[in-house]
Structure 1
């Protein structure tokens, strides 16, 4: 079937051509078999985007007036079969390597379809009419490379990527406005550029808080002027002059639209179910989905796990000084959520760390953080219970998305109580069981002194006679299998027992004892890189760079973060420039695979000074030889035979 007429829908002259008219009639004849009882069918024009139903006459008018969706070349919504999932993906997304070349039109289509689940048809048309217009308007007469929308996206992408100030963007826009023909549509300022993208961005809410952290003036307290707990005024004293200024303001970034946006892009929607479709389940801990806690959650909540698009979230809170001056007591405390559905190379990256709350306080919120967490907790409860209607761009269907907070808690502390404590016998208030386990061993003072007396021959300080211990073979590690964590824990306990014969009890503080629990924690929660603080610290460093107005640090961070969110989403659809999605990795270790043994296949960037023709001792040669043998999958069976 000839579908070349679809490309003519880009221009008004093309839509009025005979080839386009014949193509529309051909489509209507093909789709007549899917008309519903009311005589309507899904309209594939760029306004209705297969979301709204129209009668045959209106569908014909829409296709001639607005044009058909440029990416709708396989009419699967109108009974045309898909050849295969891969063929459909390639046609819809037009993937070229790792770059998505769907363009700005695909962005507008995805945005309209992704948002249509929460708004009426009239609201949808009014909201995106201007967006569609900007996506088609030439930047200047006879400009074939850039529309107004694409130009604004690329300019703001450069601003976000290179941390340009508003003034530098204003100067550049003014220069381009003078450089290009007089009829150009270049925005006059950064403010005007942001206004063009306002329908693509996400919003945030300002919620007033009590100065003593008692309550939020939200929902049932929204109309109060005084705190219902401490009776303190909600506002600063202004003596009746000017606008009322609250003592504290919480910035809240609604979670639901941000999770829905992950499914708005065809590429990201596929990444969100990577753990289900493409993860290799070979009992090796590479992803949180390999952990016991994830599997236990699936067993306890089978309804949730049946839908792989349901989102599992990590949670992190940390504070920072936006001015970089530790003498200043001003602190901001972001609450960050991380979608664990994503593959390992995306999950902990900056673009996917979702800031949910921005709390102001001179010190750590402590237990008062529960007050500020209420909007997020209420939304998480709603996502768990009711879910949110979400459009999946990869399958062109709508589903109800639920979310759960993935967090490990260590309970059952009753075993540390005395054996006759009444709390041990209470079952309903805890896990439904009576606690019969004994508490951990407590060393008496006499035994500690006896161990100290047995310690001898220890020389402290950096004296010349204190020679370093001989160099040991390095502890090269590979991906840890879940079944080996128990073995590792046993080895750690044996090592600690041997150390007790050498070192005094003071050596065995909580950090040393922590090693006993690390294997079990890895089994429960998966690899440590999905739970440590380093990505969060980098994220806070990025937020600190957003402070351009030291008098309004919170406003600077929030406004810059909103622009960054928008550009991060839009830049997926822009090709030919560097974005957060295609920039080179800091550690480019995923090069071309070479031939030979597995240990030599991966190309890697060398670390440290490269020396040539250096002499290598026999000890270093033996270590290198041992590493090659230990890391080569091809001889694992031989090594097992030798050792056992």
Structure 2
């Protein structure tokens, strides 16, 4: 477009025609609600008006000098050199030809970062503010990255304001500044971005980055604009990233100094001071306040600006609608959007689901040791959000995960995690009402809404987030008060059996007593409690947060005894009432209170319990208006379930000390239950106890055969870890298995490796269980097949009950019964298990450079990588996390391949052999029969 009219007199017809053409162009490209930014010399692109007013301003005040690249009116920053001779805002720019020749992608980057400036222009009060004279001071105050809790994140959400204009101008200035005089390849900011990209991609330390900058500065010609240190370089690109807040916490996790309590000095609950005092401080010091340090800090990463950033990016915005526009809707479960929970949510909230841009989130949390030595007891808890709008190939990638907060150690938050979640819940409530957001894919504003679908966590964290105790008699959150458990007197733990309830009503197993638990099973399968049921159970409950005033064990037992008359259970349909006279009767007189897992408020699991205090707390998620209607609120973690089930089998098969579920105590429990008399221990004449062999008992040679298979097994690269390193043939043990090792063993290896060492009955059970896990872990699931799996796994668990002792049935084994039904609700398992989260925790651990402040290191490392991840989408011709080559990239040129690709390379020494005629014919025949490349050829040619 011709822009020569800008320099002409304002009464010239060419100038007036140019103004009208500009307004026509701007209305087509950047109008919002019929308004555009006014680029006159007085408005300075800070106010928006209707076209008639803008035309009047431009004629009377003149066009803004230097604004020749109309980035606020829909024009791309990088334009042809023939059109422009200078860049925007007259801030010491180079020629457009030089800027265009670099092709560094920063034009599109800046447009997406600051494109929202032209969208939220209906707020005249904001847009008519004057720009401060001291730009540097304004920048430092408005965009510091280490916020205390004094400012609310809603006030700092990304808005179109003069401060954003200042940030934009500073970045444009750096984009136009040469790296050194005469440099045509890099600008100052593009070179720093490249260096930061390499730092994050390769894990450089800040010290090494500074040393590299100093070396480069010495190597470049005189006049280089390169900064001298990592700190200075970080300040240059901070405006491209997003910050985080520091919120002070009571050292006992009682409360946050946030919101109405941000100015308090002492905790409302325990009275602890907000500050940690230095040893040399005294109460009379005038510098006392300056020396105060917060006792505990929560680092919170505001969610709304990060979701806005996703929609502002032209590279990602359209993908946030994939779940509605790109998903195949044929009834097969491939994405959480195919599950019943998602569909039920859509049906219940039509206003929310009517816009496919409404954000669906999952929340994951788990504790980890940030140090690389496990001998140190320290637990840091990050909270991570998963945007489920994205397609499967992006949804669970680390680049898509959003770090919401870093909960500090040394100890985990436990049930007090709700205190830390308050800022996130506040933002989720705001998202539910809607937030004005710019969509780069449609170039329009829309009201962005968001909802939390469910949580993803391991089983202990399940208890912390839901409030249901996952230990003791009623440890199963899906069965709830109908959990079938039995206290094993000799093994001193609970077992969870009773899987015959899931069989058909007339199944023969229901009437077999000796093979199971000695009873006839006539009950039906329990129904998982809904959110409304949970709220009904939670009526009248209260929980005192904080770790400063926890009652002792004796005190808790006395409280249980004093409130025993409130405990009621309904037995069948007779509505009989039991009143417990003391805590020992309530808890059970044959086990210790602590061993039950603080389950002082549970009843005998042989009856259906209705106990108000079964819940440890009312989860903070119920503050969300929609949470009680979610069909799936908390997910069972298939990763840890597989690992624990695999450990149970291997420990029992190999009779490993401390890990086997079949020992003398387990046999005594069988004797107490009066079942499977052939397995009862027998006292011999020499006063030694003989334990009869069970069908799963392996001889020494069987163990050696089994472990030899695992020792010699070879799998493709990336398929599994080196399991052979876990095998100890001398002691006949298998140890130090990781979660993924259990996944591979249970699904693929155990059914084959045990064939020569175990009976056919055991092999059948292992094969059935292997098929079950492999089916529910598939990328696509058929709802009808899930119904069949739900029935078949109940029968498999009943077969296991007939063979293995009750001590084998830990809560993890029982949870298998619920996995198929959860898959119908939530969709494929790989969106809801902990594998991607655990791997992301390893990434967060790599950020820890300062062991004295691990959470601060994680926060700073995350915002740096978050910024560079966003920027790397716009870098051209550079290796990024989005285009990195494969693990074993051969870089083989297949341009001249006739039929088969020639990828691969020789590893180590090789030996050439000559095939005989029979082997050569067999090889040719195999290729012809199994290669898809030649199926299109006529059979007579083959």
With the shorter chain as reference, the TM-score category is 0.7 to 0.9
Higher mean alpha-carbon deviation, 394-403 vs 356-365, is at 356-365
Which residue in 2 is equivalent to 1:413?
480
**Aligned residue in 1 for 2:401:** 353
Alignment match, 2:674: 449
Instruction: State whether structure 2 residue 363 is matched by structure 1 residue 315.
Output: yes
Contact kept in structure 1, 2:370 and 2:854, CA below 8 Å: yes
**Cα separation, 1, equivalents of 2:671 and 2:889:** 57
Does 2:154 match 1:154? no
Give the Å deviation of 1:415. 4.6
SS in 2 for 1:321: coil
2:436 aligned with 1:389, yes or no? yes
Contact preservation (8 Å) 1:311, 1:403? yes
2:275 to 218, 235, 241: 235
Aligned residue number for residue 21 of structure 2: 27
Aligned pairs for 1:323-472 (under 5 A) are 323-384=371-432, 386-407=433-454, 413-415=480-482, 448-453=673-678, 458=695, 460-464=697-701, 468-469=754-755
Q: Is the partner of 1:336 in helix, strand or coil?
A: strand
Indicate the residue corresponding to 1:114 in structure 2.
Answer: 116
In the alignment, is the contact (CA less than 8 A) between 1:333 and 1:361 conserved in 2?
Answer: yes
In structure 1, distance between residues paired with 2:676 and 2:185: 79
Alignment of 1:548 with 2:849, yes or no, is yes
> Which whole-Å CA distance do the structure 1 matches of 2:886 and 2:105 have between them?
24
Change (3 A) 1:547 1:502: closer
SS at match of 2:405: strand
Decide whether the 8 Å contact of 2:69 with 2:75 is kept in 1: no
User: Which sits farther off after the overlay, 135-144 or 270-279?
Assistant: 135-144
Structure-2 separation of matches of 1:503 and 1:167: 58
Distance 2:430 2:900 in 1: 48
- Return the alpha-carbon distance in structure 2 between the equivalents of residues 487 and 335 of structure 1: 36
Check conservation: 2:365, 2:383, Cα contact below 8 A: yes
- Tell me the SS of whatever aligns to 2:240: coil
Tell me: CA distance 1:102–1:149, structure 2 relative to 1, closer, same or farther (3 Å): closer
Could you say which residue in structure 1 is the equivalent of 2:68?
67
State yes or no: 1:197 paired with 2:237: yes
Structure 2 residue 577 is matched with structure 1 residue 510: no
Structure 1 residues 453 and 40: CA distance shift in structure 2, 3 A: closer
Residues 569-628 of structure 1: CA distance to partner in whole angstroms, max 9, x if unpaired?
Answer: 111111111122222355889x999xxxxxx9999999x99999999xxxxx9xxx9xx9
Measured after TM superposition, the shift of residue 441 of structure 1 is 7.2
1:275-297 alpha-carbon deviations (Å, 9 max, x no partner) = 11111122222211111111111
2:17 & 2:197 partners in 1: Cα distance?
A: 38
Partner of 2:247: 207
Native 8 Å contact 2:26 2:74 kept in 1: no
Q: Deviations over 1:166-212 (max 9, x none)?
A: 22222222222233232221112211111111221211111111111
Rounded Cα–Cα distance in structure 2 between residues aligned with 1:298 and 1:605: 48
2: CA distance between counterparts of 1:69 and 1:282? Answer: 46
Quote the residue 1:139 is aligned against. Answer: 179
For residue 797 of structure 2, what is the aligned residue in structure 1? 496
Q: Counterpart in 1 of 2:472?
A: none
Q: Secondary structure at the match of 1:495?
A: helix
Greater mean alpha carbon deviation, residues 579-588 or residues 427-436: 427-436
**Mean Cα displacement is larger for which, 168-177 or 192-201?**
168-177
- Residue 259 of structure 2 aligns with which residue? 219
Instruction: Output the CA distance in 2 between the equivalents of 1:333 and 1:431.
Output: 27
SS in 2 for 1:263: helix
2:322 and 2:247 map into 1 onto residues whose CA distance is 36
2-structure distance, mates of 1:49, 1:602? 58
CA distance in 1, matches of 2:532, 2:395: 38
| Aligned residues of 2:27 and 2:36 also touching (Cα < 8 A) | no
* Aligned positions of 1:247-326 closer than 5 A: 247-326=295-374
CA distance in 2 between counterparts of 1:374 and 1:428 reads 22
Go from structure 1 to structure 2 and tell me whether the alpha carbon gap of 1:550 and 1:121 turns closer, same or farther (over 3 Å shift): closer
Give CA-to-partner distance per residue, 1:487-518, whole Å, 9 cap, x none. 11122223333444444444444333332221
2:36–2:48 contact (8 Å) kept in structure 1: no
Matched residues in 1 for 2:791 and 2:911: separation? 41
Confirm whether residue 557 of structure 1 aligns to residue 557 of structure 2: no
3-state SS, counterpart of residue 319 of structure 1? coil
With normalisation by structure 2, the TM-score equals 0.53
What secondary structure, in the 3-state scheme, does the structure 2 residue paired with 1:273 have?
A: helix
Q: Tell which has more relative contact order, 1 or 2 (C-alpha 8 A, sep 6+).
A: 1
* Structure with the greater alpha carbon radius of gyration: 2
Q: Relative to 1, partners in 2 of residues 1:293 and 1:592: Cα closer, same or farther, differing over 3 Å?
A: farther
Residue 428 (structure 1) shift? 8.2
Separation in structure 1 between the aligned mates of residue 855 and residue 828 of structure 2, nearest angstrom: 34
Q: Distance in 1 between matches of 2:48 and 2:699?
A: 75
CA offsets per residue over residues 331-371 of structure 1, 9 Å max, x none?
Answer: 32111111111111111111222111111122221111111
> What secondary structure is seen at the aligned counterpart in 1 of 2:293?
coil
Shift of 1:372: 1.2
**Does the Cα contact within 8 Å between 1:415 and 1:436 map onto a contact in 2?**
no
Q: 2:46 touches 2:161 (CA, 8 Å); kept in 1?
A: no
Aligned to 1:85: none
Range with greater deviation from structure 2 (113-122 or 283-292) = 113-122
Q: 1:289 to 1:614 in 2, by over 3 A?
A: farther
What is the RMSD computed on CA atoms of the aligned residues? Answer: 4.9
Unmatched 5+ stretches in structure 2: 77-102, 121-157, 456-465, 467-476, 486-522, 524-530, 538-568, 574-603, 608-668, 680-691, 706-753, 758-762, 916-921, 936-942
Matches of 2:185 and 2:232 in 1, distance apart? 21
CA separation in 2, counterparts of 1:493 and 1:604?
46
**What SS does the aligned partner of 1:532 have?**
coil
- Of the structure 1 ranges 330-339 and 510-519, higher mean CA displacement relative to structure 2 is found in 510-519
Deviation at 1:268, TM superposition (A): 0.8
Q: 2:827 aligns with which of 509, 512, 526?
A: 526
SS in 2 for 1:65: coil
Distance 1:22 1:343 in 2: 49
1:86 corresponding residue in structure 2: none
Q: Does 1:188 align with 2:211?
A: no
Counterpart Cα distance in 1 of 2:876 and 2:34: 41
SS of 1:407 mapped into structure 2 = strand
Q: Distance in 2 between matches of 1:187 and 1:244?
A: 33
Change in CA separation of 1:551 and 1:527 when aligned onto 2, cut-off 3 Å: same
Q: Which residue of 2 aligns with 1:171?
A: 211
Report the TM-score, using the length of structure 1 for normalisation: 0.76
Deviates more, 1:522-531 or 1:466-475: 466-475
Distance 1:614 1:370 in 2: 70
- The answer on whether the counterparts of 1:275 and 1:289 sit within 8 Å (CA) in structure 2 is yes
Q: Structure 1: where are the runs of 5+ without partners?
A: 75-100, 420-426, 594-599, 616-620, 635-644
Matches of 1:133 and 1:22 in 2, distance apart?
30
Once the two structures are TM-superposed, the CA of residue 218 in structure 1 deviates from its matched residue by 1.3
2:859 match: secondary structure? helix
Question: CA–CA distance in 1 between the matches of 2:407 and 2:308?
Answer: 24
Once residues 374 and 354 of structure 2 are traced to their aligned partners in structure 1, the CA distance between those partners, rounded to angstroms, is 49
CA distance in structure 1 between the aligned counterparts of 2:34 and 2:340, rounded to whole angstroms: 52
Q: Is the 8 A contact 1:311 1:339 kept in 2?
A: yes
Whole-angstrom distance in 2 between the partners of 1:261 and 1:585: 29
48-57 or 315-324, which deviates more? 48-57
Distance 1:497 1:213, change over 3 A: closer
